[in-house]
């Protein structure tokens, strides 16, 4: 698996965009970038994933650099409920997968 | 709208007891997973299954076993619970490879305390 590197923590202001970086310089051509988050005392929640192109859904946007060595998850208008640990994972989409969650980024949205 | 249901939210057991953690999903997913989560150690994969009656060891299978007799149900078994198995246990499911194998839906978790 390609290893990912995320900052351990970051703060952002309520109502502002939150930009969460992830480095994955050893990513392979067939590996996707996945983002999950875990709100305190809950199970992780899938947010978004992408291969090469930028992706957007109702929760967030995913920007992947052209060389695919890094990506950014964007929460366009952060709310207090977005306070969570955010995990960036790189993996192929194949049977028998073992999805590994690293340390993630602890995001605190402040009023 | 509950899709992955874990039978018990909180359990307290004694050392040496046999413990069953049940997980049921209603999304007809092929893959199912059991993780445990501990402070400072993150999520660690215990076992996973990609088909009925199939199981694969994860990163920390010691002290655990699993059962998958039906597609929708994946059980985690602690044959003889020990205090170091006190943890939050998380079940998840996903579609097969090539169609979203890494888009996991998690349950709410089962917090097990072994005394």
Closest CA in chain B for residue A48 = B103
Q: Enumerate the residues of chain B whose CB falls inside 8 A of the CB of residue A93.
A: 97-102
Question: What element of type H or E holds B12?
Answer: strand B10-13
B95 touches chain A (CB under 8 A): no
Supply the pLDDT for residue B2. 62
Q: How far is B3 from chain A (nearest CA, A)?
A: 12
Which residue among B92, B101, B105 sits closest to A94, beta carbon to beta carbon?
A: B101
Query: In which band, very low, low, confident or very high, does the pLDDT at B1 lie, cut at 50, 70 and 90?
Result: low
User: Closest Cα partner for A2 from A99, A94, A86, A78?
Assistant: A99
Contact call for A43 and B48, based on CB within 8 A: no
Which residues on A lie below 8 Å from B107 (Cβ)? 43
Q: How many residues does chain B have?
A: 115
Find chain A residues with C-beta within 8 A of B29's C-beta.
none
Q: Over pLDDT 70: what percentage of chain B?
A: 98
Q: Contact A56/A50 with Cβ under 8 angstroms?
A: no
Mean pLDDT of chain B: 93
Whether B90 has its CB under 8 Å from any CB of chain A: the answer is yes
In contact, B36 and B58? CB cutoff 8 Å: no
> Is the minimum CB–CB distance between B5 and chain A shorter than 8 Å?
no
Residue A95: predicted pLDDT:
67
Nearest to A93 among B58, B102, B109 (CB): B102
Q: Give A96's contacts in chain B (Cβ within 8 Å).
A: 50, 56, 97
DSSP string, B28-97: --SEEEEEEEETTTEEEEEEEESSTT--EE-S--TT-EEEEEETTEEEEEESS--GGG-EEEEEEEEPPT
Nearest CA in chain A to B47: A98
Model confidence at B101: pLDDT above 80:
no
Q: For chain A, 111 residues long, give each residue's pLDDT as a single digit of tens.
A: 668 999 999 999 999 999 999 999 999 888 999 999 999 888 999 999 999 989 999 999 999 999 999 999 999 999 999 999 999 999 888 766 677 888 899 999 999
**Interval B41-93: pLDDT, tens:** 888 999 999 999 899 999 999 999 999 999 999 999 999 999 999 999 999 99
Q: What is the pLDDT of residues B9-23, one digit of tens each?
A: 999 999 999 999 999
- B102 at the A interface (CB within 8 A)? yes
């Amino acid at each position: 698996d390609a290893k990912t590197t995320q900052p351990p923590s970051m703060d952002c202001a309520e109502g502002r965009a939150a930009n969460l970086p992830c480095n994955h310089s050893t990513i392979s051509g067939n590996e996707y970038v996945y983002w999950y988050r875990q709100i305190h005392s809950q199970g992780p929640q899938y947010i978004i994933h992408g291969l090469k192109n930028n992706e957007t859904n109702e929760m967030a946007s995913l920007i992947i650099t052209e060389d695919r060595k890094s990506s950014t998850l964007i929460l366009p208008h952060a709310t207090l409920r977005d306070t969570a640990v955010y995990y960036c994972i790189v993996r192929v989409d194949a049977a028998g997968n073992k999805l590994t969650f690293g340390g993630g980024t602890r995001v605190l949205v402040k009023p | 709208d509950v899709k992955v249901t874990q039978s018990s939210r909180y359990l307290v057991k004694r050392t040496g007891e046999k413990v069953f953690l049940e997980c049921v999903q209603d999304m007809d997913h092929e893959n199912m997973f059991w993780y445990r989560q501990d402070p400072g150690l993150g999520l660690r994969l215990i076992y996973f299954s990609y088909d009925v009656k199939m199981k694969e060891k994860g990163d920390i299978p010691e002290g655990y076993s699993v059962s998958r007799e039906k597609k929708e149900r994946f059980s985690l078994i602690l044959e003889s619970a020990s205090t170091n198995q006190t943890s939050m246990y998380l079940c998840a499911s996903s579609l097969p490879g090539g169609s979203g194998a890494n888009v996991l839906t998690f349950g709410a978790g089962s917090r097990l305390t072994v005394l």
